[in-house]
A and B are shown apart, each in its own frame.
Chain A
Amino acid sequence: MSVMHKILGGAAALALSAGTLVAEPAMIFDLGGKFDKSFNESAFAGAQRWAEETGGTFREIELQSEAQREQALRRFAEAGSNPIVMTGFAFGNVLAEVAPDYPDTKFAIIDMVVDQPNVRSVVFNEHEGSYLVGMMAAMASKSNTVGFIGGMDIPLIRKFACGYAQGVMAANADATVVANMTGTTPAAWNDPVKGSELTKAQISQGADVVYAAAGGTGVGVLQTAADEGILSIGVDSNQNYLHPGKVLTSMMKRVDNAVYQAMTDGPDMETGFNVMGIANGGIGYAMDENNASLVSADMQKMVDDAAAKISSGELMVHDYMSDDSCPALSF
C-alpha cells in the first residue's frame, strides 16, 4: 500500500513539475494600451524585467473591446497560462465571474479587489504617497496655494487628492488646495490639452505647485507648469526627467514591482489581499539628479520622518475610499 502511495505520489509530483515547466505567465493590458507612458507601461516594464532576468516568455494581449476581457481571461486560462496578470479596475466584475471556473489557475489583478481563493488583489496605498508629495508641495510653495489635477473623477483619484490635501495641511495648515478633475469619462486619462488649460486656471488662482494624477493628461500638466515657471509633481512612474529642474518629485506607484512579483511567484503565487504601501516599497516618492536642487535637506528630512511614521503605523493617512469622505478637502 505504502509503495503504491509512493509511486502515485511520485507520479503526481512529476505531473506537477511538468505542469510548472510549461506554464508561462500571461499579461493582459487594459484598453489604454501597453505604451501609455503611465500605468500599463509600468506593468509592461515589470513583465519585461521578469522576462529578461529569468529568460522566460510571457503571453500578452492589448484589449480591443470590452467583450474581449472575459475572452482573453478564459483563453489564457484554458491554454494553461499561469499566473494571469491584469491591470485596471475594469477587470473586477469579469474576473469575479471567471476565476471560479479555473480553480487551478492563479490570477493577479492590480488596482481592484476580487475576493476569490485563486486571485491576488494588489492595491496601492496611493493616499500615503500623495500625503508625502503633498507635504513637499506645501513646503516648496511660496504662494501658500497648491494645485491638484485629477484624471477621471472616480473614488480612486479622490483618494489621491485627499491624501495630497492632508499632506499639504500637515506641512502648512494655512495653505489652500485647488483641486480639479479633468473629466468624468475614460477620455479624461488622455487629454493633455485640457490638463494644460486646468494648469493655467490653477496658476491664475495662485497655485505655484501642481500635482497631476491623471495618466496621459499629466503630460500636459507638467509641460504647462514648466512653461509657466511653476513646479509640478508627477505620478505612477518617475516623471522627474520629463522637465529636469521643473518637476519637484513624482509619486511612485510601483505597478512594475507588483507585476514582476506576481510573475516571479509563478503558479505557486500566494493569493489574497495584497496592499502595497510605503512600508513594503510599493509606494514612494522619486529622488534623482533631476530634482536634487529642488528638494532641500529640511524638506527631505521632514518627508522621510513622515514616511517612517506611516510605515510604523504611528501616522494614519485617511483613505477616501474607506468612507467616501475627506477631512481635508471637499469635492
Chain B
Amino acid sequence: MEKMPAWADAVLVPIISLLLAAILSALVIVAIGEDPVAAVKLMVQGSLGSTYGWGYTLYYATNFMFTGLAVAVAFHARMFNIGGEGQAMLGGLGVAVVCLYMPWPHWSLALIFATLSAAAFGAAWAFLPAYLQAKRGSHIVITTIMFNFIAAALLNYLLVNVMRPKGSMDPATAKFPETTHLPTLHDILEPFGIAFSKAAPANVSLIVAIIACVAVYFLIWRTRLGYEIRAFGHSESGAKYAGISPVKITVVAMLISGGLAGMMAINNVMGEGERLIMNSTEGAGFIGIAVALMGRSHPFGVFLAAILFGFLYQGGAELALWTSIPRELIVVIQALVILFTGALDNMVRMPLEKLFLMFRKGDA
C-alpha cells in the first residue's frame, strides 16, 4: 500500500521543500540588510515578467531538461550518473565538430546532425564508466565524476592547441558559420504575430528538449527496454531471474543517459554561444541531479523542475544586476533550493508520510 496519495508525493513535498528554502533564503537576505520581499519581486519580475525574462528562464530550463532527463534515465536503472557535466562538455565537442568542419545548407539539417553527434559524443563518454560498472563493478559514481575531470582536461587541450583560431587569446573555437545558427524563440514566434524578445537566447532546442521529455516517457513506460531498465532498477536479482542481462541494461541505460546529457550542447553551444568555449556547461550537469530528484525521475516532473531552476538562475542574474546582493550570496540562495529539494527530500517526506498514515488510521 502506498504511504501517501500520489498527489501529495508529486506536489506537496516539492512545494513544502520550496517554501522552507524560500524562508531560509529570506532570512539570509534580511541578515545582510536587504529587503527580501523586494528581492523576490525582482526575481519574479525579471525572470517571468517579460518575454525577455522568459527567454532566459527557458534557455536555462532547456539545459536542465536535458541533464535532468539524463540523470532520471540512469536513476530508473538505479545508477547515479554524476557525469552529466563531462558528457555535456563532450556533447559540445560533438556539436563543434559538426558545425565547424562540415558545410551545411540549412540550420535544420545542421541541427539534426549536431544533435546526433552531440548525443553520440556524450554517450561515448558514458560508455567506459558503464562498461567498468557492468563488467568490473567499479562504482559508477566514482568513475563518472572522474570522467568529468578528464573531459575538462581533454576539452582544454583541444581548445588551446587544436581548435583555437590563430592569434585568438580566448581558448575557444571560431564562430560557427551562419547557416548553423539556430532560430531563437523570437524568430519562431514572429510568423504567428507574437512579439518575443530578440535578445533572449532561448531557441529551437527547447522544442527538441520537450520532444526528448516525451520520448523518455515512452521509452521508460511504454517499451520493452524501458520495462527492463525499471525491472533492473527495482531488483537486479529479480531482473536476472527474468532473463534480463545486467551488463546490457547497465551499458544501454548509461548510453542513453550520456546521450541525453550530450544533447544539451545544441542549446548552449549551438544555440547560445555559437562557438565552443571552455566551461560552456557551467554546472548544468550537476543541476540535472537536483532537477531529476525534484522531478521524481518522471519526464513531466523534470520538465517542471527544469523551469523552476531556470527561474532561479535568471532571477539570480537579475538580483546580481540590480541589487547590491553579492554574487556569492545568490549562489547560496540557489544552493538552498537545491539542498531542500534534492538532498533533504526525506526531511519533508517522512513527517508527511507519518501524517498521512495517522489520518488513514483515523479513517479506519
In the complex where A89-B169, A184-B160 touch, is A66 in contact with B282 (Cβ < 8 A)? yes
Specify which of A64, A67, A89, A184 is in contact with B330 (CB 8 Å cutoff): A64
A301 interface contact, C-beta 8 A: no
Residues of chain A with a CB closer than 8 A to B320's CB: 61-62, 64, 68
A93 touches B175 (CB 8 A): yes
Question: Please, which residues of chain A bring their CB within 8 A of the CB of B316?
Answer: 64
> Could you say which of B166, B275, B282 has the most chain A C-beta atoms within 10 Å of its C-beta?
B282
Residue A75 lies at the interface, judged by CB distance under 8 Å to chain B: yes
Q: Which residues of A contact B199 (CB under 8 A)?
A: 70, 74, 101
Docked complex: A32-86 residues within 8 A CB-CB of B: 59, 61-62, 64-68, 70-72, 74-76
Chain B: residues with Cβ within 8 Å of the partner, total of 32
In the complex, whether B34 has a CB less than 8 A from a CB of chain A is no
Q: Does B86 contact A (CB under 8 A)?
A: no
In contact, B317 and A64 (Cβ under 8 angstroms): yes
Least Cβ–Cβ distance between B173 and chain A, in angstroms: 11
A154 contacts partner chain B, Cβ-Cβ < 8 Å: yes
Q: Mark B261-282, 1 if CB is under 8 A from A, else 0.
A: 0000000100011010111101
Q: Name the CB-closest residue of A to B278.
A: A185
**A64-B330, A66-B273, A89-B170 in contact; A184/B201 too (CB < 8 A)?**
no
Whether a CB of chain A sits under 8 angstroms from the CB of B321 is yes
Q: How far is the CB of B278 from chain A (nearest CB, A)?
A: 7
Residue of B56, B166, B201, B317 with most partner-chain A CB within 10 A: B317
Contact with A155, one of B156, B169, B282 (Cβ below 8 angstroms): B169
CB distance from A131 to the nearest CB of B (A): 21
Report whether A185 and B277 are in contact in the complex, using a CB–CB cutoff of 8 Å: no
Contact of B277 among A59, A66, A68, A155 (CB under 8 A): A66
Does any Cβ of B come within 8 Å of A186's Cβ?
yes
Q: B171 interface residue, CB < 8 Å from A?
A: yes
> What is the CA–CA distance of A64 and B316 in the complex, to the nearest angstrom?
10
Q: Check B167 for interface membership: any CB of A closer than 8 A.
A: yes
Per-residue CB contact flags for chain B residues 121-152 toward chain A (1 = under 8 Å, else 0) read 00000000000000000000000000000000
B327 touches A64 (CB 8 A): yes
Alpha-carbon gap, A218 to B268, bound state (A): 34
Interface hub of A59, A76, A184, A324 (most chain B Cβ within 10 A)? A184
Contact between chains at B56 and A71 (CB < 8 Å): yes
Select the residue from A64, A70, A101 with max chain B CB neighbours within 10 A. Answer: A64
Hey, which chain A residues are within 8 Å of B326, CB to CB? Answer: 62
Distance, CA A59 to CA B323, complexed state (A): 9
Contacts of B268 in A (CB 8 A): 67
Q: Determine the distance from Cα of A61 to Cα of B279 in the docked complex, in whole angstroms.
A: 20
Contact A62 B280 (CB under 8 A): no
Contact status A65-B160, CB under 8 Å: no
Q: Would you call B340 an interface residue if the criterion is a C-beta within 8 Å of the partner chain's C-beta atoms?
A: no
Q: Which residues of A contact B156 (CB under 8 A)?
A: 184-185
Question: Any chain A CB within 8 A of the CB of B311?
Answer: no
Contact B171 A67 (CB under 8 A): no
Q: Count the A residues whose beta carbon is within 8 Å of the partner chain — how many?
A: 28
* Any B CB within 8 A of the CB of A294: no
Check: A156 CB closer than 8 A to any chain B CB. yes
The answer to whether B321 and A61 touch across the interface, beta carbons within 8 angstroms, is yes
Q: Is the CB of A324 within 8 A of B321?
A: no
Question: Which of B60, B171, B175, B280 contacts A184 (CB under 8 A)?
Answer: B171
Residue of B nearest to A111 (CB): B169
Roughly how many angstroms separate A93 CA and B273 CA in the complex, as a whole number?
A: 10
A71 to B279, CA, bound (A): 17
Whole-angstrom distance from the CB of A91 to the nearest CB of chain B? 10
CA A278 – CA B19 in complex, angstroms? 58
A90, CB-defined interface residue at 8 Å: yes
Contacting residues, chain B, for A93 (C-beta < 8 A): 170, 175, 275
Q: Which residues of chain B from 236 to 256 have a CB within 8 Å of any chain A CB?
A: none
Q: Mark A176-191, 1 if CB is under 8 A from B, else 0.
A: 0000000011100000
Q: Looking at the complex, which one of B170, B273, B317 makes contact with A90 (CB distance below 8 Å)?
A: B170
Q: Which residues of B contact A92 (CB under 8 A)?
A: 170
Report B-chain residues with C-beta under 8 Å of the C-beta of A89: 169-170
CB of B66 within 8 Å of the partner chain:
no
Least CB distance, A34 to chain B, in whole angstroms: 10
Q: Which residues of B contact A154 (CB under 8 A)?
A: 169
Contact A66 B169 (CB under 8 A): no
A156-193 CB contacts (< 8 Å) to partner B: 156, 184-186
Interface contact B278-A71, CB-CB below 8 Å? no
How long is the Cα–Cα vector from A66 to B284 in the complex, in angstroms?
Answer: 13
Q: Provide the bound-state CA to CA distance between A93 and B330, in Å.
A: 27
Is B59 an interface position by the 8 A CB rule? yes
Q: Please report the C-alpha to C-alpha distance between residue A66 and residue B275 in the assembled complex, in whole angstroms.
A: 12
B280 with A66: CB separation less than 8 A: yes
Cβ contact within 8 Å between B170 and A66: no
In angstroms, Cα B159 to Cα A153, docked, is: 13
Contact A67 B160 (CB under 8 A): no
Residue of B59, B170, B272 ringed by the most chain A CB atoms within 10 A: B170
| Interface pair B160/A185, CB less than 8 Å apart | yes
A321 contact set on B, CB distance < 8 A? 167
Do B327 and A62 touch across chains, with their CB atoms under 8 A apart?
yes
| Chain A positions 111-156 with a Cβ under 8 Å from a chain B Cβ | 153-156
B279 touches A67 (CB 8 A): no
Name the B residues within 8 Å of A65 (CB-CB). Answer: 282
Q: A71-B317, A93-B175 are in contact. List 13 more A-B contacts (CB 8 A).
A: A64-B331, A66-B277, A67-B201, A67-B282, A68-B317, A68-B320, A89-B169, A92-B170, A93-B170, A155-B167, A184-B156, A185-B156, A185-B171
Those 10 A-B pairs whose CB atoms lie nearest each other, nearest first? A154-B169, A184-B160, A65-B282, A74-B199, A89-B169, A62-B327, A64-B327, A185-B156, A61-B320, A61-B321
Between A and B, 7 residue pairs with Cβ closer than 8 Å are A59-B322, A64-B317, A65-B282, A66-B273, A67-B268, A67-B272, A185-B160
